[in-house]
Amino acid sequence: MTELLADDEAGVARAAALLLAGELVAFGTETVFGLGADATDPRAVAAVFEAKGRPHFNPLICHYPDATAAFADVEVSDVARRLAAAFWPGPLTLVLPRRITCPVALLAGAGLETLAVRVPAHATALALLRAVGRPVAAPSANRSGQVSPTTAAHVLDGLGGRIAAVLDSGPCPVGVESTVLDLAGERPCLLRPGGVALEDLSAILGVIDRGGAPGGSPRGPGMLESHYAPTLPLRLDAHAARPGEALLAFGPAPPGAILSLSPSGDLGEAAANLFAMLRALDRPDFTAIAVMPVPEHGLGLAINDRLRRAAAGLAGGSPPG
């Protein structure tokens, strides 16, 4: 049985106690629900991979209540400090070299010499992280290959019975995962577009390399993932539904559209709705989900990245994510 914990002091205390006892607890962040484990406990971390059915080579993000706690575990550069000051708490993950003293289990970082760290902008998540007092490793709380959960009900759909508890802190306001930026190399490199827009990072960093560019070798294991896939095939850049298809609009819904990511064309609203609407349309009475074009700027980069992965996940041959 998976406990459903209320978003109050008792719920947070129970969640923290379970985590410290080596159990798995899903909790909401501003981006998506994370499947949390005590990052310093290799058995708890192993249980995360088991519950998700995720290949072990995929490293996890460690979550901290503040930058001071995060930077105690990684080697910090000037750039990292500036980015943390600008975007933490918030949907930005920084990949930095591990300190020799870093207590995070090697398995959490998939044996890499770097560690992905982040401070989520979510009051309940921060209360939980403070109560635990240890880094919490948390991938998105879905079975591998499924879309990320943005409500406690989504988490229970995929992981109910496989984890100790879900802390129900309500729907996730951002709706797509954090932006992952690799600062361990000579130049900053974007490994995953996400909740912090590339334009906002560029305002501080200047030009940013894009990981996983066509032909280039991926720097982040995450670039290999065929994540976020609904069961139905996805057809992108659609302008109308073909027979049998469910049309997912962006902007005002044309006749025949079932849902719109954002009727007013707001990218933030679209990101927040993305995973829940893909789930809602992923039904056997449709043959495919046709998605209208989403502009490629701001949060549109993250939305289109998730849509392309979801579409590619069905082409076959991609490694499981």
Q: Which is nearer to ligand TXA, 11 or 120 (CB)?
A: 120
C-alpha radius of gyration, the chain, whole number: 19
Binding mask 235-274 for ligand TXA (x = CB under 6 A): ----------------------------------------
Determine, following the binding rule CB under 6 A, whether residue 114 of this chain makes contact with ligand TXA.
Answer: yes
> Which of ligand TXA, Mg ion, none does 180 bind, CB closer than 5 to 8 A by kind?
ligand TXA
Name the nearest CA neighbour of 226 among 106, 100, 90, 58: 58
Cα distance between residue 297 and residue 122, in whole Å? 25
> Which of ligand TXA, Mg ion, none does 116 bind, CB closer than 5 to 8 A by kind?
ligand TXA
Phi-psi region at 308: left, alpha or beta (left = phi > 0; alpha = psi -120 to 50): alpha
The phi, psi pair for 209, rounded to 5°, reads -65, 145
Stretch that binds ligand TXA, among 14-22, 137-145, 154-162, 235-243 (CB under 6 A): 137-145
Name the nearest CA neighbour of 321 among 90, 122, 147: 147
Pick from 2, 146, 178, 273 the residue near ligand TXA by CB under 6 A.
178
Count the residues of the shown chain that bind Mg ion, applying the rule CB under 5 A: 1
Stretch that binds ligand TXA, among 79-87, 178-186, 263-271, 279-287 (CB under 6 A): 178-186
Determine, following the binding rule CB under 5 A, whether residue 140 of this chain makes contact with Mg ion.
Answer: yes
Determine, following the binding rule CB under 6 A, whether residue 139 of this chain makes contact with ligand TXA.
Answer: yes
Least Cβ distance, residue 241 to Mg ion (angstroms): 29
Q: Which is nearer to ligand TXA, 135 or 139 (CB)?
A: 139
Residue 243 one-letter amino acid = P
> Which of Mg ion, ligand TXA, none does 149 bind, CB closer than 5 to 8 A by kind?
none
Q: Which residue number has the CB closest to ligand TXA?
A: 222
Cα distance between residue 141 and residue 196, in whole Å? 20
Site for ligand TXA in 73-92 (CB under 6 A): 91
Name the nearest CA neighbour of 211 among 239, 250, 182, 235: 182
Extract the runs of DSSP E, i.e. beta strands, from the chain: 3-5, 25-28, 33-38, 61-63, 92-97, 114-118, 136-137, 165-167, 179-182, 189-192, 209-210, 234-235, 245-249, 257-260, 288-291
Q: Which is nearer to ligand TXA, 12 or 32 (CB)?
A: 32
Q: Which residues bind Mg ion (CB under 5 A)?
A: 140
